[in-house]
């Protein structure tokens, strides 16, 4: 029974990692923008949702509103902060986004203090569900269902739609993309906003597993980067596989070897990167 628990809990945890990290796969992998403030957008989404729930808004409505708001913030940030750095190189982008993370941390600490910000789950997600061979928390099943649905939608959007084709063309050769009538600037703004919105959505629905607190953006940034790196830069299917695999490994370590769980997790990351230095599913150009 503990094996089934590890697999189910690891799958649910992996889905949270995927939902948040896939936004980073979009911005850093597809758009090639070094965005170390990605965790900050997830944290902002969680805090906004917590405020809305505290004001009487339902959990699901708060999640939608927070996702929309952070997406709009991301669009403004892309226009005002990120776009001037596109041609400055990776170091300038890394330094700026890292500094932006500290600005967000300081702002939220000033406004909400240093404690954990709670985000109560709705009654519908607070119980357990009979899945045949055992009962299991409805909240974790909800995470699995949302993660699978989101993965399918992103696959259709990025790999099977005209939008995905235009985005890849705009990243690979923006001058040629403009020549054939693609509005590259608008495409980048919409895509970046979408990546930030995904981060916020993951920050909201995953708050019970990744608690909201002022240093959230730094505490979990390494996890998000690891998922993107192990999966393969710019490959959301690789990020999906990496998130599930690492979620199960981390969960298994906490169940079976709690004092050595961190060593097991990062040891597994090291082994995976040594075996597959370009990721589990690297881009064709990296193989």
User: Where in the chain are the domains?
Assistant: 2-113+137-286
- Looking at the whole model, is its pTM more than 0.85? yes
The answer regarding whether domain 2-113+137-286 maps to CATH 2.40.128 reads no
Nearest to 4 by CA among 135, 139, 94: 135
Q: How far apart are CA 93 and CA 116, in angstroms?
A: 29
Give residue 76's pLDDT: 95
Q: How far apart are CA 243 and CA 106, in angstroms?
A: 29
Q: How far apart are CA 191 and CA 182, in angstroms?
A: 14
Token couple for 166: 């235009």
**pLDDT tens-place values along the chain, 287 residues long:** 558 888 999 999 999 999 999 888 888 877 788 889 999 999 999 999 999 999 999 999 999 999 999 999 999 999 999 988 888 888 899 999 999 999 999 999 998 888 888 899 998 898 899 888 788 999 999 999 999 999 999 989 888 888 888 888 888 888 888 888 888 889 989 999 999 999 999 999 999 999 999 899 999 999 999 999 898 877 888 899 999 999 999 999 988 888 888 888 899 999 998 998 888 887 654 44
Residue 130: its H or E element? strand 128-130
């Amino acid at each position: 029974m503990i094996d089934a628990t590890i697999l189910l809990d690891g799958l649910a945890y992996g889905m949270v990692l995927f939902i948040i990290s896939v936004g980073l796969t979009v911005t850093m992998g597809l758009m090639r923008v070094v965005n170390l403030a990605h965790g900050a957008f997830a944290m902002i989404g969680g805090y906004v949702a917590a405020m809305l729930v505290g004001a009487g808004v339902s959990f699901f409505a708060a999640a939608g509103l927070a996702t929309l708001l952070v997406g709009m913030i991301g669009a403004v940030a892309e226009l005002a902060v990120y776009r001037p750095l596109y041609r400055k190189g990776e170091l300038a982008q890394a330094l700026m986004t890292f500094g932006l993370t500290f600005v967000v941390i300081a702002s939220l600490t000033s406004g909400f203090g240093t404690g954990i910000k709670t985000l109560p789950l709705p009654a519908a997600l607070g119980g357990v569900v009979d899945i045949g061979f055992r009962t299991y928390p409805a909240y974790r099943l909800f995470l699995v269902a949302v993660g699978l649905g989101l993965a399918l939608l992103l696959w259709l959007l990025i790999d099977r739609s005209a939008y995905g084709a235009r985005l890849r063309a705009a990243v690979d050769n923006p001058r040629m993309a403009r020549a054939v009538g693609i509005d590259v600037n608008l495409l980048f703004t919409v895509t970046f906003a979408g990546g930030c919105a995904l981060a916020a959505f993951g920050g909201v629905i995953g708050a019970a597993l990744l608690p909201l607190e002022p240093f959230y953006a730094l505490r979990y940034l390494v996890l998000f980067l690891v998922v993107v790196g192990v999966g393969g830069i710019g490959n959301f299917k690789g990020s999906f596989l990496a998130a599930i695999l690492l979620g199960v490994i981390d969960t298994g370590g906490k169940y079976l070897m709690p004092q050595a769980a961190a060593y097991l997790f990062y040891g597994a990351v090291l082994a995976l990167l040594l075996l597959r230095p370009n990721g589990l599913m690297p881009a064709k150009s990296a193989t």
